[in-house]
Amino acid sequence: MYTGQLAGLEAEEARRPKPISIPEEIVHASGRRHDEKTPIPVRVHVPVQVAYSDVELVDADAIAWTSGGLALVCYTPAGEEGPGPKHS
């Protein structure tokens, strides 16, 4: 249905890693949340989906964490514009 160029762009988009949120019940089970007044630069592995789930090491800002070791982070995936640190 698509022209070759559009089909190529769609296939490229499908291969781009997309962040996956950790389910809230897992976050709640990991302990009490601590919110930071100022984001803290961190390097973390985050789950991403590329036709399957995987994990990437990225530079990010930690904006909250739980006593069980889970962190809420903000980062910008490679090739995208956004407020968080650029994926490296």
Q: Is the pTM of this model over 0.85?
A: no
Amino acid symbol at 18: K
Look-up: residue for tokens 């789950």? 47
Residue pLDDT, tens place only, 18-49: 888 888 888 889 999 899 999 999 898 888 88
The Cα–Cα gap between 82 and 48 comes to 17
Calculated CA dihedral for residues 18, 19, 25, 29, nearest 10 degrees: 140
C-beta separation of 76 from 68 below 8 A: no
**What is the model's pLDDT at position 35?**
92
